[in-house]
Structure 1
Amino acid sequence: MKLLTIAATTLALTAGIAHAQTVRMGTEGAYAPYNFIDDATGEVTGFEIELGNELCARAELDCTWVRNDWDSIIPNLVSGNYDTIMAGMNINEDRKQVIQFTQPYTPAMPSAYAALSPDVDVEGGVVAAQTSTIQAGHVAETGATLLEFANPDETVAAVRNGEADAVFADKDFLAPIVEESGGELVWVEGYDTVPLGEGIGMGLRQSDNDLRETFDAVITEMKEDGSLNELIKKWFGEDALTFE
């Protein structure tokens, strides 16, 4: 995936933003339904794109989207290629050592194992996961052999072509793939709901406290007025986990 270069002004955000400012929003564009490319328009879309645009509108910020490969998405945030990350990124302690997060804009969504058979050995076999994810970290701590891929679609392909016994990923990512496979892919018994992480949030540089506070305030507003839950249901279904 090539980095989409978008010109943007580097701005110092201060508390109490008085006018619209340009913020570059980093995303992967390869993790439906969180973020993906619309085949008809060629533009990035998905839950996080719609949410990010709404957050920016409410905060009176002029935002633009920048696509970046997952495996370098944190380093390129830190180096200043964009100002935020909205890419299905679970909040965890390891990442907090490098970047900071807003409050979560999804509850802690479960992960799951999918395979060609419901009884595969996910703790002793070969399991595919996207590199630098909490799922890859979890597999590495089990007795399974971890097979890492840069792109999430490649993890599913590894199961289909026999490279891996199972794939481990966010259940919301795998659910439509399993459903549309016509029975080819199934959930692994006893491993179809695995709680991991603290929820998904927006990543920012450690120094961008004012920008984090701005987005935190708007996320709180959307939680309180119910619009965030409605957006979650729109993209993940009526039975999706929502905020109380």
Structure 2
Amino acid sequence: MKKLLLATALAAFGTGAVTGAMAQDVVRIGTEGAYEPYNYIDQATGKLTGYEIELGTELCKRAGLTCEFVQNAWDSIIPNLQSGNYDIIMAGMSITDERKQMIDFTENYIPPASSAYVGLTADANIGDGAVIAAQTGTIQAGYIAEQPGVTLLEYATPDETVAAVKNGEADAVFADKDYLAPIAGDSGGALVLLADEVQLGGGVGGGMRKSDTELRAKFDEAIKSMKADGTLNTMITKWFGPEAALF
């Protein structure tokens, strides 16, 4: 799960964010559209799809809200929430103490899960002297930056991090295991999911402006109802597979 760097988002904190989402006819959900299976573009239809798209649609239905999705690049996703371009972020965003200084979160809709490495071989170097690719502004990039003897290469998109390993720029890529496992599995052996896993963050939730307490309460109630009736676990299994962490 991802983590926007504090300095980037704080720069936009005082930009006069639009508040009062509940007063609007349509609740706008900001998503990246580039992080399968959380949210991505279906190549056949050109439309947004993925776990968070299906989940957001169901949450809005349960909350009695009319919603629409807004695609936004990851590196500006919190500033554009603060600016009022949408009302909630559903983009594989980890719930962290650092983020809570800037925004609030809904109930988590993905439990804490593993981050992992993918390399060209099972013995790819991820220790001293390694060069590791990660998407800029993510919780994984922050983790790698703190590892002694390891060089972090940051890229704007997750696709670029994987490409860096394929073309030899990086020894491995570090990201959500849920994102990397299917890529390695579909590579025909060209990429290997390493055994090393790291637990980061407090799960994934919807990011919201601190002022939108009424809207957050509606989403929280809808998420809790899906946890209670089992439909959230069913949806997680559908998109992430039978080995995914469940509530």
TM-score of the superposed pair, with normalisation by structure 1:
0.90
One-letter amino acid of the counterpart of residue 145, structure 1 = T
Tell me, yes or no, if the aligned pair for 2:32 and 2:40 is still in contact at 8 Å: yes
Residue 6 of structure 1: aligned partner? none
Among residues 180, 188, 207, which one is paired with 1:182 in the alignment? 188
SS at match of 1:216: helix
Aligned equivalents of 2:134, 2:21: Cα separation in 1: 37
Q: Deviations over 1:82-117 (max 9, x none)?
A: 101000011111111111101110111110011012
1:13 aligns with 2:22: yes
Residue 32 of structure 2: aligned partner? 28
One-letter amino acid of the counterpart of residue 177, structure 1 = I
Residue 5 of structure 2: aligned partner? none
1:111 aligns with 2:115: yes
Q: Which runs of 4+ in 1 moved over 6 A?
A: none
Aligned equivalents of 2:131, 2:116: Cα separation in 1: 15
Unaligned runs of 5+ in 1: 1-8, 15-19
1:146 aligns with 2:181: no
One-letter amino acid of the counterpart of residue 212, structure 1 = R
SS at match of 2:52: helix
SS at match of 1:188: strand
Residue 174 of structure 2: aligned partner? 168
One-letter amino acid of the counterpart of residue 184, structure 1 = A
1:213 aligns with 2:217: yes
Q: Cα RMSD over matched residues? A: 1.5
Identity of matched residues, % = 61
- Which structure is richer in relative contact order (CA contacts within 8 A, separation 6 or more)? 2
Aligned equivalents of 1:238, 1:165: Cα separation in 2: 29
Tell me, yes or no, if the aligned pair for 2:106 and 2:220 is still in contact at 8 Å: yes
Q: Deviations over 1:196-222 (max 9, x none)?
A: 110000000111111111100110000
How many correspondences in the alignment? Answer: 228
Tell me, yes or no, if the aligned pair for 1:77 and 1:204 is still in contact at 8 Å: yes
Tell me, yes or no, if the aligned pair for 1:30 and 1:36 is still in contact at 8 Å: yes
Give 1:120-135 correspondences, 5 Å limit. Answer: 120-124=124-128, 125-135=130-140
One-letter amino acid of the counterpart of residue 132, structure 1 = G
Aligned equivalents of 2:135, 2:97: Cα separation in 1: 19
Unaligned runs of 5+ in 2: 1-17
**CA displacement at 1:31 relative to structure 2:** 0.2
Judged with a 3 Å threshold, the aligned counterparts in structure 2 of structure 1 residues 225 and 113 are, in CA distance, closer, same or farther, namely same
Aligned equivalents of 2:122, 2:226: Cα separation in 1: 39
One-letter amino acid of the counterpart of residue 139, structure 1 = I
